[in-house]
Amino acid sequence: MSIPGIMGILNVTPDSFYDGGRFLTEASILEQTEKMLSEGADFIDVGGYSSRPAAADIPEMEERERVVNAISIIVKNFPGAVISIDTFRSTVAEAAVDAGASMINDIAGGNLDPEMFQTVARLKVPYILMHMKGTPQNMSSQSQYDDLIKEMLDFFHQKIHLLRQFEVKDVIVDPGFGFAKTIEQNFNVLQDLEKFSILEKPVLVGLSRKSMVWKTLAIEPTGALNGTTALNTIALLKGADILRVHDVREAREVVKLFTSLQHIVNA
């Protein structure tokens, strides 16, 4: 049995929904990276473009400068860290990989940049393929589906087939909780998470402090850690391979308890 991985979130943005503005200086980037690595993060996911609903669109150069600066700081001080670049822009992805990132996490699944798949193929790095419709600016109005799970699986099948044509084999799928999906639809996806095993790819789940947690509980994102832990536990039981989180220590505890249970079940 493989142990589920943990991806720690490092948003170097002023406006992300939970941690915007917290990690803009070299000192804060170093402190947070050291904290996440010491708590057991397998990957550090660096993002310079806020994808919260209705977030402002920023110029490509600004995003690139944010992430390249952060990645350079991390590589210099933590040369063993595995860094993922969270972007839907191929030029930003390439600059980030040149700076030291070794994985591309694309919220748009290639839909917002026609050069993304070709870039991933050329760079020969793992690719996280997320499901989203529309853009961060309009995705909240894109949640109409005739059959949500079927349409998501069709999306992934088509994209994986295209990536295979580009000879990109190291693909991770992300259902995209909160992206062009209502709260009820998010829970439907979580309920049916096992169905994504048909894709025969690792499944990454990003539930951390999202609105399906805090709006359901009628609290703020700052109080959504306990709810996040509960949903992460459910996700692992339903087949998640990687948890993408703001709070690494708590996620590592969930994984440890889950794997202890699995050892008993599989004994």
| Residues 6 or more apart in contact with residue 100 via CB below 8 angstroms | 71, 72, 74, 75, 83
53-to-127, 132, 169, 181, 210 alpha-carbon distances in Å: 23, 12, 31, 11, 11
Let me know: does 174 contact 241? Beta carbons within 8 Å.
no
Q: Which H or E run contains 128? A: strand 127-130
Q: Is 244 part of the annotated catalytic residue set? A: yes
The catalytic position among 209, 210, 249, 256 is 210
137-to-102, 156, 181 alpha-carbon distances in Å: 28, 22, 14
Let me know: does 48 contact 87? Beta carbons within 8 Å.
yes
Let me know: does 62 contact 93? Beta carbons within 8 Å.
no
Q: Is 249 part of the annotated catalytic residue set? A: no
Let me know: does 50 contact 11? Beta carbons within 8 Å.
yes
Establish how many alpha carbons lie within 13 A of residue 101's alpha carbon, considering only the half-sphere containing its beta carbon.
28
The catalytic position among 133, 209, 244, 252 is 244
Query: Could you give the maximum distance between any two Cα atoms of the chain, in Å?
Result: 53
Taking the C-alpha atoms of residue 9 and residue 166, their distance in angstroms, rounded to an integer, is 28
Q: Give the active site residues.
A: 210, 244
